[in-house]
Structure 1
Amino acid sequence: MGITGAGKSTFISHLTKEAVVVGHGIESCTKQILAYPFYYDANTTVSLIDTPGFDDTKLSDHSELEELAAFLKPSYENNIQLSGIIYLHRITDVQLDQETGNGREQQLTSNSRFWGLMRSRGCQIRRVLNTKESALGLVRHFVADGPGLVTLEVQKELVDNKKEFIDTAVGQEAAGQHAEQLRTMKKELEDVKQELKEALKAKDESHALAIKKERARAAQLIQDSETSFQNLHVDMEKRMGLRAKRQDAEIQKLLKLPSRGTQGTASQTSSRGIGMSSWQRLNLLVQEYEALGGKKGFIPPSLSYYEVRWIIKQAKEILLSQPTLLQLPAPTTVFVQIIGDVRGQFGDLIRLFHDVGKPGLQRFLMLENYSGEGPHSLDTFLMCLAYKVNPPQKIFLLRGPLETRREGSLRRDCLERYDKTTLEEIIELCAYLPIAATIADDRKFCANGAMSPELLRLEQIDSFRRPLELKAGSIASDLANGPSTKVTGEAAARFCARHMLSHVAGGRVFARDGYDFVKGPRGRFVILWSAPSFKGWRSASAVLRVVSEKAMEMYVSYLGTHCEIATADGDI
């Protein structure tokens, strides 16, 4: 907070990557409440709330206070509390020598008419330079002391006591100051009228003309001020409702609710409090996913703007530490379960995890296409990312073609519920996904596209630098999207022999039975499909389970069947 030109937007721009409009004149560039998140560290997201300046040329102080109240009221109603308030006061108007400046600072901090009263009640005063380091040091004060949450008196009055803004303590103070200003302006107008009479009496026409203009200006100011003052007594709910609509996008960044028009209720996500660390919120989110297993007609948990961007950031750091060709060891006590095409079917994936074991207890290798044409494409992908980030990180994601598309349901969900920045961050993240994996001493090969006839050595895959662009006809495109030529039994057998593979698993192709084989290599080349609800096709869902270095089994869920077959030296 602070008067216009105090440096609020500049302060925020030092700490965030957002484009904050910074003004240099007497008119405030911030016209409404705006929320800007930034990652303080791996465990902490800080939200900076920019506000219009006091003493604005276009917005009266009481209107500014009401604007703040319109933002703080729904925040408090949804259990979002402040950690503190930063009030900025500029000292750059007049260049002072150090001794004079120190004296002025001492006067401000000790005099109860200025900052003395606030300081006596716990307010701390810090100098802030025009640097990122200085701004970060100020924020560190709030983070270091932990999530000491603050409830403002005006929030209690508006929500708990159900008062109108004019009846709150701050509303009464604003009204009193406004009335005093109005009396002063009327007194000045009377003085101008008297001066005009004297000018007309003296027949000073030029001076009289100037005074008439000043009288008209003063009268207009009084009229505007009286109208503004009367508005304080108008039904606050109507006015604040209009303001809330303007601020809705900013409030939604802080709420644990989806954007308006999407499904979900506050009770679904209220347990993930803003006072928790990001890791605590992630752990609770995973518990919410697990609680959905086996249910019908469920609604995916809603993630806040900050939670989504934090999960993306953590996932990217993990992906950067992994090779382009994942190498998973042979199972000992924990199976490796391979899931095929998901296509954004959130419910199918929830049921699959419920039936075959949740991530964390089992290791999962997911081949691709986490988003698709379902109503919950974004929810499906975010759940996969949440499981990947959440310790012990036993879920591995490979790249498919749908996650890099800038059209379709993933784009729709991102733009409706979050923003374009979130969409671009997800698309960029997918460019870092590995494109293939081997299991059990490189004998079992997995990729969405299953194979590439141009791949001479598996080691070539690790030479692909990420972020990776999938150019048509390239090896990377074959493995992620599927070969440009048909996979025949002869080509599959040749691929297995060239790379000394016992089995190959791929996705990408619809299989009504949940799985299908490429004829030729004795059932060792399998295609997996794990989206039985896709487009209402009512197919089966299959998971290929690697039990040990040699033993494998296929889990097929359609009519409750479970088939255990074969070893690495035989057909699946």
Structure 2
Amino acid sequence: MGPTGAGKSNFIHTLAENETAVGHGLASYTSGVSAYRLKCSDDIDIVLVDTPGFNDTHLSDRRILEVTAKWVKEVGKRDLQVLAFLYLHRISDNRMGSASRKSLKIFQKTAGKDFFSRVTLMTTMWPDPADTVEMEESEVREAELRKEYWAMMIEEDSKVERFTNTRESARKIVDSIIIAESKRQWSKLQQELVDQGKDLPATEAGKELHAAYEDMVARQNFLMQQLRAEMEKAAADPVTITALQQQLRDELVKFKNARKEMRKLESSREKEKHHILITLFFNFLWFLARPGNSPR
């Protein structure tokens, strides 16, 4: 798992270069999830599952979570359990952007704290070791990830590994997972969907996605306050107002799309309450963002 573009498919194809995709059963429950069977030894086969990443250009985050959850639920019904999670992150990223932070938070809720010991936090897209400057910068970013963003999971025995785009490094990572396997255990999302019979919106991962949506509303509220304050000034700057209005219009487009997605995820009991509040808020934002609403 991991954000779009983190290298999930490349890792699987590097590791299972001569393997074929699982054409039935495991891979056939949903589109967007691919599964590959890998023979590790004479008596050990594993299935590598490639899930779609959040912040995808073609699928909404809501749809991606639904696709992943459906696969997890269906294999759980067959009494199959996720052995471990590999969470991928590009070491080439200069900073941990909002999309990456959101992806990590949803992943943490998907795995659950009790499952963190079965999580490998894997960095990808490492530079050529001969490039000492890039290597030093990448190692600084890795240290920051360990200290700031992954610390909680590392404390719960999550492992950190580097995938250097070779089959040897990929196999080393998978072998460490197989060696560590000692007992059957459900991930948090499997527990909630299969054992507890929860709908996706009621799971911790579903709630985290909704929290990301609320953060978007908070950003728009901040922009709205800035715009209103500027419009109330005696000597308001028309250029600043125009810029704020454009930012707000851009955010409103994202807001409208997110609202549609979250309403699909919400339970029917919550829909009516949120529909009334969101519609009023949306109409007020749109009124302020209209070009004609500027100080006279």
Q: Tell me the residue number matched to 1:108.
A: 145
Q: Secondary structure at the match of 2:88?
A: coil
Call closer, same or farther: CA 1:36–1:147 in 2, change over 3 Å: farther
1:65 Cα deviation after fit: 2.8
1:40 Cα deviation after fit: 2.1
Aligned residue among 134, 139, 155 for 1:120 = 155
Matched residue type, 2:163: V
Q: Tell me the residue number matched to 1:224.
A: 257
Distance 2:151 2:244 in 1: 42
Call closer, same or farther: CA 1:171–1:233 in 2, change over 3 Å: same
**Does 2:66 match 1:39?**
no
Cα deviation 1:119-160 (Å, max 9, x = unaligned): 111211111101111111111112233464331122222222
1:214 Cα deviation after fit: 4.0
For the Cα contact (< 8 Å) 1:82–1:151, is it kept in 2? yes
1:82-481 correspondence runs (5 A): 82-93=82-93, 96-111=133-148, 114-146=149-181, 148-191=183-226, 213-234=246-267
Matched residue type, 1:127: R
Q: Tell me the residue number matched to 1:79.
A: 79
1:189 Cα deviation after fit: 4.5
Distance 2:268 2:74 in 1: 17
Q: Tell me the residue number matched to 1:374.
A: none
1:118 Cα deviation after fit: 0.8
For the Cα contact (< 8 Å) 1:38–1:46, is it kept in 2? yes
Distance 1:214 1:43 in 2: 58
TM-score by length of 1: 0.35
**Does 2:84 match 1:64?**
no
Cα deviation 1:386-419 (Å, max 9, x = unaligned): xxxxxxxxxxxxxxxxxxxxxxxxxxxxxxxxxx
Distance 2:7 2:238 in 1: 49
1:170 Cα deviation after fit: 2.4
Distance 1:181 1:211 in 2: 16
1:62 Cα deviation after fit: 4.6
For the Cα contact (< 8 Å) 1:4–1:53, is it kept in 2? yes
Call closer, same or farther: CA 1:193–1:219 in 2, change over 3 Å: farther
Distance 2:214 2:37 in 1: 38
Distance 1:155 1:122 in 2: 20
Cα deviation 1:492-543 (Å, max 9, x = unaligned): xxxxxxxxxxxxxxxxxxxxxxxxxxxxxxxxxxxxxxxxxxxxxxxxxxxx
Distance 2:212 2:145 in 1: 21
Q: Secondary structure at the match of 2:5?
A: coil
1:178 Cα deviation after fit: 2.2
TM-score by length of 2: 0.63
Call closer, same or farther: CA 1:216–1:157 in 2, change over 3 Å: same
Larger Rg: 1
Cα deviation 1:334-390 (Å, max 9, x = unaligned): xxxxxxxxxxxxxxxxxxxxxxxxxxxxxxxxxxxxxxxxxxxxxxxxxxxxxxxxx
1:107 Cα deviation after fit: 3.1
1:201 Cα deviation after fit: 6.3
Q: How many residues align?
A: 221
For the Cα contact (< 8 Å) 2:39–2:45, is it kept in 1? yes
1:9 Cα deviation after fit: 0.6
Call closer, same or farther: CA 1:185–1:37 in 2, change over 3 Å: farther
Q: Secondary structure at the match of 1:81?
A: coil
Distance 2:180 2:161 in 1: 16
Matched residue type, 1:227: K
Distance 1:79 1:56 in 2: 30
1:105 Cα deviation after fit: 2.3
Q: Secondary structure at the match of 2:49?
A: strand
Q: Secondary structure at the match of 1:172?
A: helix
For the Cα contact (< 8 Å) 1:38–1:45, is it kept in 2? yes
Distance 1:202 1:102 in 2: 45
Q: Tell me the residue number matched to 1:493.
A: none
For the Cα contact (< 8 Å) 1:13–1:19, is it kept in 2? no
Matched residue type, 1:79: D
Q: Tell me the residue number matched to 2:25.
A: none
Q: Tell me the residue number matched to 2:113.
A: none
Query: Cα RMSD between the aligned structures?
Result: 3.2
Q: Tell me the residue number matched to 1:5.
A: 5
Instruction: Note the residue ranges of structure 2 that are not aligned, 5 or more in a row.
Output: 22-30, 95-126, 128-132, 270-296
Call closer, same or farther: CA 1:193–1:70 in 2, change over 3 Å: farther
Q: Secondary structure at the match of 2:263?
A: helix
Distance 1:122 1:181 in 2: 32
1:195 Cα deviation after fit: 5.8
Cα deviation 1:87-111 (Å, max 9, x = unaligned): 0111123575444443432332233
1:230 Cα deviation after fit: 2.0
For the Cα contact (< 8 Å) 2:220–2:248, is it kept in 1? no
Call closer, same or farther: CA 1:202–1:155 in 2, change over 3 Å: closer
Call closer, same or farther: CA 1:153–1:211 in 2, change over 3 Å: closer
Q: Secondary structure at the match of 2:161?
A: coil
Matched residue type, 1:38: L
1:210 Cα deviation after fit: 6.2
Matched residue type, 1:134: S
For the Cα contact (< 8 Å) 1:83–1:147, is it kept in 2? no
